[in-house]
Structure 1
Amino acid sequence: MAEDTTTLAGPPDERPLPPVRDWPDVGTNATDFDPVLAELMREGPLTRIRLPHGEEDWAWLATRYEDVKMITNDARFSRAEASVRQFTRLAPHFAPRPGALAWADQPDHNRLRRAASTAYTVSAVRRLRPRAQEMLDELVDAMVQDGPPADLVERVLEPFPISVVCEVMGVPADERRKVHDWTREIISTAGGAEASERAKKGLFGWIAQAVRDRGDSGGQDVLSLLGAAVKSGELRHEEAVSVAGPLQIGGEALTNNSGQMFFLLLTRPDLLERVREDPASRPAVVEELLRYIPHRTAVGLPRIALEDVEIGGVRVGKGDPVYVSYLAANRDPSVFPDPDLIDVDRDAGAHMAFGNGPHYCTGAVFSRMQIELLLDTLLERLPGLRLAVPPGEVPFRQRTMIRGPQALPIAW
């Protein structure tokens, strides 16, 4: 990418467009911030990007906190309109399912979300917490019994979120490995369009049958709630299936996010000592790490401008695709001073790690609960917790949309 920037002067309609920047796959190391995104932030706050896939030549990218906040709350930017466009994108395969929550605008978005929302309320998560602790304890018991060294990802950080999300969704124990294999393939960019499509067919086909089977079950798991919503006419069957899929896939994000958190703790002795000796500081540490961690590769899903909109002195035209970067917003120095430093004494509560606006993550409370349990349990049960290899030997996932360690060898 070129290092020069474009200076805009005059009324928005008369200003030259900023150059289109290709977003190359430069590879990222461990928890390092994406250097391409860092450069785009310096050129911004609004730039034009071209990603590896898709038919449209470019899209806008907003990186400033206030712009990201505005766009994600503004009905003039439509997710539904983007679902029928082959915009420039990271994923090799793009075929949104009809009725998908991620692509819905209001009021459909609230209607779709409401059907499963009772499984993700604060009270529902509170009721789930003892069962989640039991599942975590079983995993840690087995790891402690086998003794160090151990791969924390394999033994705890992968099976725990999978078990919990499957508990919430209502996936039987003997089906969980199959479901996990499908979700892993869906978020990977390595297998190509064919592998991704096979995994989607497998997962969504399985969900479709489960929703049909549970319309009369009266259960409080997500699949039963959605089955009941279909039977009552609140949702169409295809809508229920489209809502359930991303909720199931969400467990993958927690595996990777918590893996990054523990990598950061285990490579920063002062930070680890702080959370070990001062349990009261842990909630603030979690929020700061959520702000700091580079959760994903490149950008997520775009929106389409439904009319001309001026952002930061730049005119975004009607029909233009627009991406926002939550990662960039979380590093905006006007909101988070010295944003590239982990400062557990700052107020990081305004971070956008779970998104913003109507598409704010459904499972945010659910995810925080699991992170709290992991931190408290592992620090209590594993005295002297440390990496079993030098930090540079910890392998991180490559060619995947969600970033995180592939393995995290530990000793205690």
Structure 2
Amino acid sequence: MAHAYPFSPPHALDLDPTYARLRAADPVARVRLPYGRDGWLVTRYADTRTVLADSRFSREAVVGVDIPRVRPELTDQAGSLLSLDPPAHGRLRRLVANAFTKRRVDTLRPRMERVVNDLLDKMCAAGRPADFVRHVSVPLAVTTISELFGIPEAGRPRFHSGAAAALSTSAMSPEERRAHRADLNDYLVELVGRRRREPADDLLGTLVAARDERDRLSEAELVQLAWVVLVAGYDATINQIGNMVWTLLSEPDRWAAVVREPDRLTARIEELLRFIPLGVAAAFPRIATEDVELSGVTIPAGDAVLLLVHAANRDPDVFADPEVLDLDGESGAHLAFGHGPHHCVGAQLARMELEVLLSTLVRRFGGLELAVAADDVPWRAGGMFRGPRELLVTW
């Protein structure tokens, strides 16, 4: 019998206890989603790593297949960075990866520090209480990814709408999602043309040069690659910033510990990444290309396998007391950024953004606190990621 999935509507940052029950008793469980055929959900850490890294589980094979999913339309596109297997995937990933190395990201840190301080100045000027999401999370994410790609101020609303549509599940209708996605696609085509006429030393300019000077990218590959990196680096950042600040402020002892020992911030961010369930439900399924056994269950060739890395990050076989946020412990090898060929290419940038933001908050706003009860914070709905819709703070 297939379990109905998702198990329940998301509530704040609570992870449905069904994941823990399945991990213990039915770690490779049959599930039925609102759309598509039935699939398998893995919940153990070891099985999750296998599905993410083993070549017998294919992302490329999902294209055009009636995969289990939470929205009616099929959105996986042939040739996309998210829908390719090695070695084709590696060719596209290498072109983007150079922009996200630790060395390159470190060169962006001074600019990031200036942006964060400017946003906090504006938040102060707005007065107390201030909405941290509106004043900091959203503009920080927009500025970072827009400057990386060279998106001008005038085009950022189109980018915002397209990104929101790409990650919407029920907040928009299928028709609205298609319209906004098409508009963002048209805008990226415009930007590509502009980079050809006016070369620039940003990520989009680098990708255009790879297409025009060395003929390494097709036109479709170029636009799809820009699309994936833009969208993935935007909404997740907005939500994770809000999630971390809410998590630290929701229990004042947590924020006090971070303020008291700022030198431990980097390790504590890793524990926050492990603990916080950013995703609402399993996404990006794989297709088994042959019969594969996981935790004693044989997954037949052709079946879809789903996973939620946040469930794997709560596996007691890997993490001590995993249901507890331990800011003084070791986060271990969490899977918040994935694993294997599709490990998040922007992980270093995301870590740097979080470190710069939180370290600046600790230094400038040691007395920061929620302006409302933690349970009264409103949360976003109808998308792929969890995050506060509004986060009123005072100091």
Match of 2:246 in 1: 263
What CA distance in whole angstroms lies between the structure 2 residues aligned with 1:364 and 1:22? 32
The correspondence of residues 315-334 of structure 1 with structure 2, limited to 5 A, is 315-334=298-317
Do the aligned residues in 2 keep the contact of 1:98 with 1:239 (CA within 8 Å)? no
Does the alignment pair 1:296 with 2:275?
Answer: no
Helix, strand or coil at the partner of 1:75: coil
Helix, strand or coil at the partner of 1:255: helix
What CA distance in whole angstroms lies between the structure 1 residues aligned with 2:258 and 2:27? 35
Do the aligned residues in 2 keep the contact of 1:216 with 1:227 (CA within 8 Å)? no
Runs of 4+ in 1 over 4 A off after TM superposition: none
Does the alignment pair 1:72 with 2:52?
Answer: yes
What CA distance in whole angstroms lies between the structure 2 residues aligned with 1:217 and 1:359? 32
What CA distance in whole angstroms lies between the structure 1 residues aligned with 2:273 and 2:356? 15
Do the aligned residues in 1 keep the contact of 2:62 with 2:76 (CA within 8 Å)? no
Match of 2:151 in 1: 171
Match of 2:360 in 1: 377
Helix, strand or coil at the partner of 2:234: helix
The correspondence of residues 11-410 of structure 1 with structure 2, limited to 5 A, is 19-24=1-6, 26-54=8-36, 56=37, 58-189=38-169, 190-215=171-196, 217-231=198-212, 232-249=214-231, 250-410=233-393
Superimposed CA distance per residue, residues 55-83 of structure 1 (whole angstroms, 9 cap, x where no aligned partner): x2x11111111111112111111100011
Do the aligned residues in 2 keep the contact of 1:304 with 1:322 (CA within 8 Å)? yes
What CA distance in whole angstroms lies between the structure 2 residues aligned with 1:198 and 1:95? 13
> What is the number of residues matched between the two proteins?
392
What CA distance in whole angstroms lies between the structure 2 residues aligned with 1:44 and 1:127? 47
Match of 1:15 in 2: none
What CA distance in whole angstroms lies between the structure 1 residues aligned with 2:196 and 2:92? 16
Superimposed CA distance per residue, residues 131-176 of structure 1 (whole angstroms, 9 cap, x where no aligned partner): 1111111111111122211000000011101100111111112211
Structure 1 stretch 249-258 or stretch 366-375: which is displaced more? Answer: 249-258
5+ unaligned residues in a row in structure 2: which ranges?
none
Superimposed CA distance per residue, residues 87-145 of structure 1 (whole angstroms, 9 cap, x where no aligned partner): 11123322323321001000111111122222111111111111111111111111112
Structure 1 stretch 35-44 or stretch 270-279: which is displaced more? Answer: 35-44
What CA distance in whole angstroms lies between the structure 2 residues aligned with 1:217 and 1:107? 32
Shift of 1:383: 3.6
Structure 1 stretch 246-255 or stretch 362-371: which is displaced more? Answer: 246-255
5+ unaligned residues in a row in structure 1: which ranges?
1-18
Counterparts in 2 of 1:311 and 1:201: CA distance versus 1, 3 Å? same
The one-letter amino acid of 1:74's match is D
What CA distance in whole angstroms lies between the structure 2 residues aligned with 1:241 and 1:40? 40
Percent identity, aligned pairs only?
39
Aligned-residue RMSD, C-alpha: 1.5
What CA distance in whole angstroms lies between the structure 2 residues aligned with 1:170 and 1:44? 48
What CA distance in whole angstroms lies between the structure 2 residues aligned with 1:321 and 1:347? 33
What CA distance in whole angstroms lies between the structure 2 residues aligned with 1:154 and 1:205? 27
What CA distance in whole angstroms lies between the structure 2 residues aligned with 1:248 and 1:47? 33
